[in-house]
A = this chain, B = another copy of it.
Amino acid sequence: MESSSTPTSEVDVLIIGAGPAGFMMALWMSRLGIKTRIVDKRTDKVFSGQADGFQARTLEILDSFGIGERVWKESNHLIEVSFWNPDSNGVIKRNGRAPDNISGMSRFTEAVLHQGRMEAFFLDAIAASYPHPADPSGTPLKVERMVLPTSLEVDEAAAEDDDAHPVTVTLRHLTEAEATPTQKLSNLSDGLFRSNLADDDVGAMLAQSKGRADVREEVVKAKYVVGCDGAHSWTRKALGPEYEMKGEMTDFVWGVMDIVPITDFPDVRTRCMIHSASNGSLMIIPRENRLIRMYIQLTEVSTGGRVDRSTITHEMIFKAAQKIISPYKLEYHYCDWWTAYQIGQRVGSHFSKCDRVFLAGDAVHTHSPKAGQGMNVSMSDAYNLGWKIGLVTKKIMPRKILSTYELERKQIANELIEFDHKFSRLFSGRPQKDILDETGVSMEEFSKAFNMSHMFTSGLGVNYSPSALVSKPPEEALLLESDKEVQNEGNPVAQSKLSAATHCKPGMRFPSHQVVEQADARPWTLHHKMASDGRFRLFVFGGDISQAAARERVNALGARLEKGVLARAPRIELSPAANPFAGTARFRLDQPPSVVDVMLVHCAPRGEVELVRDLHAVYHPFDAKLGWDYDKVFADGESYYEGHGHAYEGYGVDSERGAIVVVRPDGYVGLVTELGEENWGEVEKWFEGVLRMA
């Protein structure tokens, strides 16, 4: 395809596909000031329908970029679930209510808002990253639409060269008429557009445009390419036949409708799981603006093998819903969107090539949408990958860290399809008539499975395997046979001592508890001090520093950090979104901060600590233009207006012994150890394994 006249350019990162994973990747790149392009074959964004569930962990992640609260405010929150099953006469009855998720795990719970709104928030968040001191001439990146990749090559010999651009991609810019038209609002005739019942249309698009004079091509040489291009992923196919999706399709076909219901069914504003006696199952997800989403089992078309999509219409889907919900009446005037899909679970065999081309989101895992996981796991893939690519590109981390992407995310993809496999069979199955009905599904089993699933579906249960980034104690590390190879390869010398902070588990997300800012008494939940800005956090749980011994221990650690980790770790330019002083010359720091952000959480009475007088300067860094930084020291104590956060209890830290917890830029715990001097070397070892230390 490439000819001598084809324009050629370089870029650090090329993202293919502007869905949830692509946008998350683009957002990370903007916050880190990495030169990036994002292309998509479609003409415009998603207006309605598609994925809409935001799980608690996803909201925490979005909040770390400053947009979680916008979703939280506009979305509908799912609080309660009710279970409806056939009674002895076969009539559906509510036989249980339960909270939608576990209380107290996160400050967020499950919420729903349509995907199109989300894209606007991403674009705002990307714009807020500029002007970026690491990329002063950069402007907020925009999605380049109607652009299709046509070839992809990796120069494997140059893969380990830090300064190389070893991935070559040819891009074709289509004319507007050729790009696949997006489904428009209230256009009910094309509900199966983008369904997994529809065929991939890229081949046709390419064939049509090939060789034509009005089509423009260019060659992009990229350091990294990320394929976020969905279930039909062109990128995955371009990597060769060994990049295949493994798994199976089922006979279960489901319809989806977003309507404003007119009904006498009483639980239409709570999440409902309805199993009818013989008409299939229905799930109701109440949404914003009086809408509800219905997932409707289509028993009539579930006859084995590939489904004939021409038989599926919104009328037949709605009739199926009416049958399931009867004797209650269900009508509607407004339908916002509809589609249908066939349930299947598949995972990609490989998630990367040479750690230069990566696959994320639906490109490497597909499953049924009912548990609201798709968008969340896709965003989480990119959230896991983005900072790794970014910090490697900036030469802050070595390239070997990139192998942890497949290690960590393939594990989650496998857990996801295992969960989905079990859950969709339970939900699609016919309810058991009695205890002797062996092919029916026991409603007790279903309800139990639902309640067991909370840690997984909320995203809060993610527990990554050991690697350079996750130091588990030897006994835990040894349990995971499958990861031994990776473990040994990038084997961290550092080992965690879990007893120091029993609720901070290496590999799991650092929880958020309220503390009180030393300097101004303001209560914060610690996640608010952990913006996704590329920095590692080193939390020093210093104990009662009003006592001389504890204070001296904390200050001795400060002196060691100053000469050790902080002197040797790279520095990082922050975007204005993470640091309001970054964007304007008049407020710029004398030099960028360390990539290791030290924070002290003590449990002394706040009034007995004088920040500047009592504490080593690593806990209040000085800048010649801006004075002391007062925003690094927090007390675990009673706040004036918001009560006591009991953070030491929440993190499982003993107030006498204290703890050190290292948290990765994505909020996952990397290392837990004790506060005593004999453990400081362990912290240094951990950073040696992760950063390019001076």
Contacts and interface: CB of A to CB of B under 8 A. Distances in A.
Interface of A: 69, 73, 76-77, 79-80, 97, 99-100, 103-104, 109, 186, 260-264, 266, 268-270, 286, 288-290, 333-334, 517, 519-523, 580-581, 586-587, 607, 610-613, 624-628, 630, 639-641
A519 B581 contact: no
B73 A607 contact: no
Given A97-B607, A289-B581, A586-B334, A520 B640 contact: no
A512 to B, nearest CB: 14
A611 B267 CA distance: 9
B80 A186 contact: no
B612 A79 contact: no
A89 B14 CA distance: 68
Query: Which of A109, A260, A261, A523 has most B Cβ within 10 Å?
Result: A260
A204 to B, nearest CB: 33
Contacts of A269: 517, 519-520, 630
Contacts of A639: 79
Contact of A610 (B266, B286, B586, B587): B266
A120 to B, nearest CB: 13
Contact of A270 (B286, B288, B519): B519
29 contacts: A69-B73, A76-B520, A79-B521, A79-B640, A79-B641, A80-B520, A80-B640, A97-B607, A99-B640, A100-B640, A109-B641, A186-B586, A260-B625, A260-B626, A263-B627, A266-B611, A266-B613, A269-B519, A269-B520, A270-B519, A270-B521, A289-B580, A289-B581, A290-B581, A333-B624, A333-B625, A333-B626, A334-B586, A334-B625
B99 A520 contact: no
A393 to B, nearest CB: 29
B641 A99 contact: yes
Nearest to A271: B520
A599 to B, nearest CB: 16
A83 B641 CA distance: 20
B334 A522 contact: no
Counting from the closest, the 6 A-B pairs by CB-CB distance are: A262-B627, A80-B521, A269-B519, A269-B520, A79-B521, A99-B640
Contact of A290 (B262, B270, B613, B626): B626
Nearest to A104: B641
Contacts of A286: 520
Given A79-B641, A109-B641, A520 B270 contact: yes
Contacts of A625: 260, 333-334
A260 B581 CA distance: 11
A99 B288 CA distance: 39
Given A69-B73, A99-B641, A522-B77, A627 B260 contact: yes
A612 to B, nearest CB: 6
A272 to B, nearest CB: 11
Nearest to A81: B521
Contact of A79 (B262, B288, B522): B522
A186 B587 CA distance: 12
Contacts of A581: 289-290
A437 B333 CA distance: 80
Given A73-B69, A289-B580, A520-B286, A266 B333 contact: no
Contacts of A261: 627
A82 B109 CA distance: 38
A330 B432 CA distance: 77
A260 B584 CA distance: 14
Contacts of A626: 260, 262, 290, 333-334
Contacts of A270: 519-521
A647 B496 CA distance: 47
Contacts of A523: 79
Interface centre among A268, A517, A628, A641 (most CB of B within 10 A): A641
A519 B266 CA distance: 8
B69 A587 contact: no
A248 B610 CA distance: 43
Given A286-B520, A625-B333, A266 B612 contact: yes
A587 B289 contact: yes
A13 to B, nearest CB: 30
Contacts of A260: 587, 625-627
Given A270-B519, A289-B581, A333-B624, 11 more contacts: A69-B69, A79-B520, A97-B607, A99-B641, A100-B640, A261-B627, A264-B612, A268-B630, A288-B580, A290-B626, A333-B625
Contacts of A104: 641
Contacts of A519: 269-270
A611 B264 CA distance: 10
A55 to B, nearest CB: 14
Nearest to A623: B262
Nearest to A262: B627
A626 B333 CA distance: 7
A489 B417 CA distance: 74
A630 B630 CA distance: 47
A627 B672 CA distance: 54
A444 B610 CA distance: 25
Nearest to A108: B641
**Which of A186, A520, A630 has the largest count of B CB atoms less than 10 A from its CB?**
A520
A641 B103 contact: yes
A522 B111 CA distance: 11
A76 B522 CA distance: 9
A611 B266 CA distance: 7
A269 B519 CA distance: 6
A334 B79 contact: no
A288 B581 CA distance: 11
Contacts of A76: 520
Residue from A69, A73, A521, A586 with most neighbouring chain B CB atoms (10 Å): A521
A522 B269 CA distance: 10
A334 B587 contact: yes
Contacts of A333: 624-626
A270 B523 CA distance: 13
Contacts of A268: 630
A73 B128 CA distance: 15
Nearest to A78: B520
Contacts of A103: 640-641
Contacts of A73: 69
